[in-house]
């Protein structure tokens, strides 16, 4: 194992400051690892080797001059290929997208550059980020480094696969239905979807713009907090953006569990997790209770989402479909096209019914948080499915097998994280979802720091290391 590629952002900063490690060496190590593993993982849409080395050289000079830009200076990161990165096309996982390079950075990319981060490249996503696994006609299948025959999840699947394999220290993702948390669960990572509007995004339009939240995937909670502080800085281009938080809003985080009132909903929305996921969750609950946490089983909390929000979902895809020239619809993912065409004739009345249902859902969870500080659920009903799984098919239904536990909190805008809590009998990771009230990012992160210490999942995990060794790393 190349230990340097698995160092945290904090550890990198300490070694940079001591002068016994250079951002250039770190970037070279990550790029070399990328070159070895990419043929197996298929996690990158584009690699910016030249730009990464140039940024690393500039970061190295700042560290030598003791003029660093902060804790991400010289830290390798990746960007999901559905946001703009100046000089590179934004392909969105689709052959129908433009190959013209973006003229400017999206807000999150601009903030990371300003912080001195070293951007390795852009990671894969399914077409228009539409599903919870990552494959596309543009790029093919992205594979899970824990088991190449399994999916890395989606839609931030390339981000999670690369990060879990030791490529990059922090990965950018975004999440309109679970697209940070599901890949984090499948790949044994920490993934954090902040409150809606916390991380500015541009361009943002259509129905899904009100669900989507950018955020980090990391190998530990502390790195996610460092990344979020940078990502959440203001940008005038996003009119949905929240006011910029105070400068030190996530500093001096402390593990926090005792005294919190935790609600536990293993079957949120009436969807039951499978046996392996349930077993890992129950072991985690026992560990937290032993440490003094007060946990109450609150049942399913809400009714199934599909009957209420199906129209809302297909209407969002119809908006995306209208942006593709009609003569190119044949190039699209057939299942995406089928769903999107269903939404073309959807009435405004049915769409507005979905908005009204979002308000009711928010009131339901607001009432829950009157008596409970946090809500705990599985992140996904199953571990990572086979890589060639057909999403939203009878065998793997979107509502039952995909976003059952994650989507509610895109609809309400609440912060939610996925933290590793164990492995299945087959040696695949399982995630625990931790949900806070709106604008409760600090509470979620502090509780996850406590859970991380208690659950003691090794990073990297021996099961993951064994598979990576088989790939030559």
Enumerate the active-site residues: 80, 155, 179
**DSSP assigned state of 126:** S
Alpha carbon distance 180, 172 (integer Å)? 9
Antiparallel, parallel or unpaired: β 143-144 and 416-423: unpaired
Largest CA-CA distance found in the chain, in angstroms, rounded: 63
CA distances from 291 to 284, 420, 446, 454 (A): 11, 18, 15, 8
Burial 120-138 (b: 16+ CB within 10 A, else e): bbbbbbbbbbbbbbbbbeb
CA neighbor of 173 nearest in space, from 82, 303, 305: 82
What beta strand segments (E) does 291-448 contain? 294-297, 374-378, 416-423, 429-435
Write out the two tokens for 219. Answer: 């190998």
Alpha-carbon distance of 131 to 79, in angstroms, equals 18
Task: Provide the 10 A C-beta neighbour count for residue 141.
Answer: 18
Collapse the DSSP code of 451 into the 3-class scheme (helix H, G, I; strand E, B; otherwise coil) and give the result.
helix
Report the distance separating Cα 135 and Cα 128, nearest Å: 11
Task: Please give the Cα distance from 446 to 256 (Å, whole number).
Answer: 5
DSSP secondary-structure letter at 71? T
| Distance between CA atoms of residues 145 and 150, nearest Å | 8
- Helices and strands (H, E) in the chain, number of each type: 14, 15
Q: Shortest CA distance to 455 belongs to which of 292, 265, 255, 283?
A: 283
DSSP letter at 122 equals: E
Would the CA dihedral through 150, 153, 159, 165 be positive or negative? negative
**What's the rounded Cα separation, in Å, for the pair 313 and 371?**
31
- Going across the sheet that includes 374-378, the strands are 44-47, 118-123, 76-80, 170-175, 213-218, 190-193, 416-423, 429-435, 374-378, 261-264, 294-297
Q: Nearest 5°: phi and psi at 107?
A: -50, -45
């Amino acid at each position: 194992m190349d230990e340097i590629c698995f160092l945290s952002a904090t550890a990198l900063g300490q070694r940079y400051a001591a002068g016994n490690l250079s951002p250039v060496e770190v970037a070279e190590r990550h790029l070399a690892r990328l070159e070895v593993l990419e043929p197996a993982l298929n996690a990158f849409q584009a690699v910016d080797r030249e730009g990464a080395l140039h940024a690393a050289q500039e970061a190295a000079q700042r560290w030598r001059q003791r003029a660093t830009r902060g804790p991400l200076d010289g830290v390798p990161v990746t960007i999901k290929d559905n946001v703009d990165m100046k000089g590179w096309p934004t392909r969105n996982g689709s052959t129908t997208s433009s190959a013209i390079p973006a003229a400017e950075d999206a807000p999150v990319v601009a903030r990371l550059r300003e912080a001195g981060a070293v951007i390795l490249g852009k990671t894969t996503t399914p077409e228009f980020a539409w599903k919870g696994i990552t494959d596309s006609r543009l790029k093919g299948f992205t594979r899970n480094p824990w088991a190449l025959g399994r999916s890395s999840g989606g839609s931030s699947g390339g981000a999670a696969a690369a990060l879990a394999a030791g490529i990059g220290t922090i990965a950018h993702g975004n999440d309109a239905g679970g697209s940070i948390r599901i890949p984090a669960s499948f790949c044994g990572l920490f993934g954090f979807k902040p409150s809606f509007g916390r991380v500015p995004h541009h361009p943002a339009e259509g129905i899904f713009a009100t669900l989507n939240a950018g955020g980090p995937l990391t190998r530990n909670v502390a790195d996610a907090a460092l990344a979020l502080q940078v990502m959440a800085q203001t940008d005038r281009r996003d009119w949905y953006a929240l006011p910029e938080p105070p400068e030190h809003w996530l500093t001096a985080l402390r593990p926090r569990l005792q005294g919190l009132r935790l609600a536990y909903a293993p079957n949120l929305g009436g969807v039951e997790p499978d046996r392996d996921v349930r077993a890992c969750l129950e072991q985690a609950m026992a560990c937290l209770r032993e440490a003094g946490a007060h946990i109450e089983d609150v049942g399913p909390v809400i009714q199934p989402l599909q009957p209420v929000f199906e129209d809302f979902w297909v209407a969002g895809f119809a908006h995306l479909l209208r942006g593709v020239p009609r003569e190119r619809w044949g190039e699209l993912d057939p299942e995406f096209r089928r769903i999107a065409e269903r939404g073309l004739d959807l009435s405004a009345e049915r769409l507005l019914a979905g908005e009204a249902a979002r308000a009711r859902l928010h009131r339901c969870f607001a009432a829950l948080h009157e008596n409970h500080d946090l809500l705990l659920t599985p992140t996904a009903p199953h571990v990572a499915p086979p890589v060639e799984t057909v999403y939203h098919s009878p065998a793997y239904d979107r509502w039952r097998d995909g976003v059952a536990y994650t989507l509610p909190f895109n609809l309400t805008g609440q912060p939610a994280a996925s933290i590793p809590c164990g492995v299945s009998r087959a040696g695949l990771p399982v995630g625990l979802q931790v949900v806070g009230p709106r604008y409760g990012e600090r509470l979620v992160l502090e509780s996850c720091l406590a859970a991380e210490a208690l659950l003691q999942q090794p990073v990297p995990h021996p099961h993951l290391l064994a598979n990576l060794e088989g790939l030559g790393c």
